[in-house]
Amino acid sequence: MTTRELVGAPSFDPRTGLASATVPESTDAAVADAVRVAEGAAAAVAAASPAERRAWLRAVAEGLEAHRAELVDLADAETALGPERLDGELTRLQGQLAFYGDVAVEGSYLGVTIDGATTGTPRIVRVNRPLGPVAVFGASNFPFAFGVLGNDTASALASGCPVVVKAHPAHPRLSVRLAEVAREALRGAGAPDGTLGLVVGMEAGAALVGAPGIAAVGFTGSQAGGLALRRLANERETVIPVYAEMGTVNPVVVTPSAVAEPGAVDRIADGFARAFTLGMGQFCTKPGLLFAPAGSGLAAATARALEALAPDPVMLTRGIAQAVSDGLAALTAAGGRILHRREGTTAGWAAPTAVLEADVDELARGSRLLEECFGPVALVVEYGDEAELSGALSRLQGCLVASLFAAGGADPDAARILGWLTPLAGRVAVGDWPTGTATVWAQHHGGPWPATSRPAATSVGAGALGRFVRPVAYQSVPDAWIGPEADPANPWGLPRRVDGVLQPG
Amino acid sequence: MTTRELVGAPSFDPRTGLASATVPESTDAAVADAVRVAEGAAAAVAAASPAERRAWLRAVAEGLEAHRAELVDLADAETALGPERLDGELTRLQGQLAFYGDVAVEGSYLGVTIDGATTGTPRIVRVNRPLGPVAVFGASNFPFAFGVLGNDTASALASGCPVVVKAHPAHPRLSVRLAEVAREALRGAGAPDGTLGLVVGMEAGAALVGAPGIAAVGFTGSQAGGLALRRLANERETVIPVYAEMGTVNPVVVTPSAVAEPGAVDRIADGFARAFTLGMGQFCTKPGLLFAPAGSGLAAATARALEALAPDPVMLTRGIAQAVSDGLAALTAAGGRILHRREGTTAGWAAPTAVLEADVDELARGSRLLEECFGPVALVVEYGDEAELSGALSRLQGCLVASLFAAGGADPDAARILGWLTPLAGRVAVGDWPTGTATVWAQHHGGPWPATSRPAATSVGAGALGRFVRPVAYQSVPDAWIGPEADPANPWGLPRRVDGVLQPG
């Protein structure tokens, strides 16, 4: 028995900073048990057809609907993100669950490839197979969309892997309820026991990553957290992949032609202020650094826009609130000059809101100015010419999203600047702020190190399933021993490549 | 100036053990220069169309043909693998170069996905982009197929990445010549300078992995080597992927029904003895451990077959030769009993050939019996019943290939045993020895940790290109700024997914 059996994970109200309840932390035995039942379910979850797994995911979405009011209230009590936003996010979560089920049924993720069907060479059938139980560490900032049942969990289940979630300390009660609601729905839909598990507590999370039965890890959160889990995974006897989406500073570039349009400066400044304070700035896709043409007045305009918006943030956790103040001090020490700063007034986890500016020369490699300040804080840097801009961009870390504001398709500089942004980012947007991440086939929510630990992987969109499978090549194996994927009659209507030729399903 | 500038990499003749020449090792400056020119070429290599890159690869294949006799002689002098085998391997290499070019032109590896084409939602176009310069560490045992121009190099070039190869110490002169021949061909075909580079020496290899300009590593070789490179890559400021194919013990299971067929025991024993001595047992796909039904007599039959074959190995390196003797001693100490052992007689790097047997109970987790002995050595273990077999299989490490010998599709046990082998392996073969690895669309030459560092990746077959690209999602970006991949007219005839619907090219 370890000491953590004696304490619970407190559930805080960010608006007051007071704990209203605690949730029992998982013992070592409870973690081992969660992994054991997940391992026990793995073969059945893998053997279920994509259509069966889609039915499970749809049942979970329906189960959420039946508890909508309760779940939104609980989420708001633990996150202070507001009922309207959370209601919308719950609807988004339901859409995600349905989407990943549809992607599974479409079947491209299985990568079925058959050689030797007609060529007389040995028959080789390649099929992607589920890795096994996946540990999921959800994010604080999207309690539904990236929470217990979020993108990682839904894509892992869709790909045929049981999931054990580690409850987020920012919303432990919601995490427990989401798992209960989902497990009831899964049971009702015929999914095996052990398809979804939950553990609570930081030590439990570490034990989960170290458990031999866990085959992969999905994580969304801070760089410190993601890298710590990656280290744990690398120390295992059998090293497993850690898909950590850690976020960094997402840059925005405004071209000279873009600010030359009438009203553009105020419009861009207003959009920027709204984008970096959306959700109290607690987005991994928050635009944190805007490059403005020298003399454009965008920095001052952003300060005015922020002042007019007058946000009064309540942050998700005490730690995040403190990190905003600390981050502002560090940014100032690194050469940032505050253009506008407003203190938070809430009795709970208040944080300041601020926009800073800095000279482009200050953006040296390793400078704090190039690191994320998670919260409603952003930096504006003016560039004199393209050489200054490209030099500064070359010193940025990898990021999830980069945005470019240009004067339409005829902007003389835009394509060139886009070419400098692309190597930095998993997604590049033109004329859009980076904050929206649609759950679609073409989405890529990833980005070069250290934005993510596996830049080729995505945690949002159809590609997310590919993280939790590995190919197996079956050579001269009777089709019946492989399964419906290899059946020449193609009963699941899968897209397949046969003797090199791609055949849609 | 470091000390390694003063010494060269010796080129040994394995038949005598004598060094005939040395090749200068690369200085720190030479490594930095190789990376610098590769970085300089990266944009042009990435911007070349797949058809252009195919033309480059075909030119390399033609260049090899023009130097065939010289290259085969040189390879034989440094590896002692024999002119016939090496001539065939050179032809295989040419086929590989052509294959990866064809895969690039087919274009599925680009993963072009377009959302919002007809739906009114924001247009997102996802395209896989090359990572940049790739460091390649080829293998000792296939100087052509996995050498300077082998699978890693060809697939990286096909996917749009320049390559810097580290010459293998087992064939440094061949490495230099292959690079010269290839660079001449690439230049003639219009590829940029810096498309292919070469460095020599162990310190040079370490410096290469640490160079900030290198974006990924491909490696084929020992577990110690692969893990060392992975550690170096993990210590970089920007961590990069290491695709290490390290190999382990590839198991073979023979079912009771299979040995019941007349003549089957001698036929399987003969096939096994040939398979594990092929290429002096220096295959990462060598079958190292055969599970035979108790009382089948397969162990004794294998000993007879090996005695009749009477191989007299000349090993690739002094280290490998010594490791065979050391490995045999260790296997014996771990409970292996030698059934037949024959000493090598060559004046150079001779090694013994041997088959051992062990009790199934000896196959405990962590036992030396479960680890690879690279060379013409194999182990036979008899199993009494399926529980013994499945228990032993559950203790095996991940492997590249597992084989099953069964009595055809009606074998009552085969499908179940295949189900136990599949989680262990990247490829499973029925009725085939594991040693042949066809370069085809359906191939998967990978396997669970520690057989490879990235079990979902393959170093052979069409999937190999996917290791060296990452997706970028272009949101609301004018098509012309993205390139031909996003052109609605699809000038390259690429397979694409448009609004969720897969369209063959």
Note the CATH number of domain A22-246+456-467: 3.40.605.10
Q: Is there a contact between B471 and A418 if contact means CB atoms under 8 Å apart?
A: no
Contacts of B480 in chain A (CB under 8 A): 409, 415
User: Which DSSP string do the residues of B395-432 spell out, in sequence order?
Assistant: TSPPEEEEEEE-SSTT-TTHHHHHHHHGGGEEEEEESS
Contacts of B312 (CB under 8 A, 6+ apart): B342, B344, B345, B346, B350
d(CA B217, CA B233): 8
> Residue A79's Cα: distance from chain center in Å?
17
Residues of chain B with CATH 3.40.309.10: 250-430
> Which CATH code of 3.40.605.10, 3.50.50.60, 3.40.50.300, 1.10.357.10 fits the domain covering B3-246+456-467?
3.40.605.10
- Reading the block at residue A27, the tokens are 């013992």
Angle at B90 between CA B89 and CA B96, to 5 degrees: 85
Pick the closest to residue B313 from B285, B352, B274 (CA basis): B352
Q: Do A115 and B473 touch (CB under 8 A)?
A: no
Calculate how close chain A gets to B213, using CA atoms only, in Å: 13
Q: Give me the amino acid identity at B398.
A: G
B418 shares contact with chain A (CB less than 8 Å): yes
Interior CA angle at B155 toward B498 and B374, to 5°? Answer: 130
Low-confidence residues in chain A, pLDDT < 70: 1-6
Alpha helices in A347-495 (DSSP H): 386-393, 414-421, 479-482
Q: How many CB atoms within 10 Å of residue B308?
A: 10
Q: How far is CA A225 from CA A218, A247, A373, B47, B81, in A?
A: 12, 11, 15, 37, 50
Q: Looking at the complex, does the CB of residue B493 fall below 8 Å from at least one CB of chain A?
A: no
Contacts of B472 in chain A (CB under 8 A): 422, 425-428, 444
For the stretch B472-490, pLDDT in tens is 999 999 999 999 999 999 9
What pLDDT, in 10s, does the model give residues A208-227?
999 999 999 999 999 999 99
- Six-digit token pair at B432? 């085939």
Q: Say if residues A98 and A152 touch (Cβ distance below 8 Å).
A: no
Residue A366: the pLDDT is 87
The string over B59-96, giving b where at least 16 C-beta atoms fall within 10 Å of a residue's C-beta and e elsewhere, is: bbbebbeebeeebbebbbbbbbbeeebbbebbbbbbeb
Q: What is the pLDDT of residue B268?
A: 98
CA pair distance B368, B364, nearest whole angstrom:
9
Contact check, Cβ <8 Å, B418/A456: no
Q: Which two tokens stand for residue B201?
A: 């020496």
Helix, strand, coil share of chain A (percent; to 5): 45, 20, 35
CB A356 within 8 A of CB A339: yes
What is the sign of the dihedral through the CA atoms of A416, A422, A424 and A425?
positive
Task: Please tell me the pTM assigned to this model.
Answer: 0.97
Helix (H, G, I), strand (E, B) or coil at B113: strand
Flag residues of chain B having pLDDT under 50: 1-6
Kindly report, as residue ranges, where domains of CATH 3.40.605.10 are found in chain A.
22-246+456-467
Between the CA of residue B101 and those of A124, A497, B70, what are the distances in Å? Answer: 21, 18, 25
Tokens representing residue B44 in the block: 């042009």
A245 labelled catalytic: yes
CB of B117 less than 8 A from some CB of A: no
- Give the residue range(s) of CATH 3.40.605.10 domains in chain B: 3-246+456-467
Residue B113 to residue A441, Cβ atoms within 8 A: yes
Residue among A432, A453, A472 whose CB faces B475 most closely = A432
Enclosing H/E stretch for A196 = strand A196-199
Cβ-defined contact of B409 to A501 (cutoff 8 Å): no
CATH 3.90.45.10 fits B250-430, yes or no: no
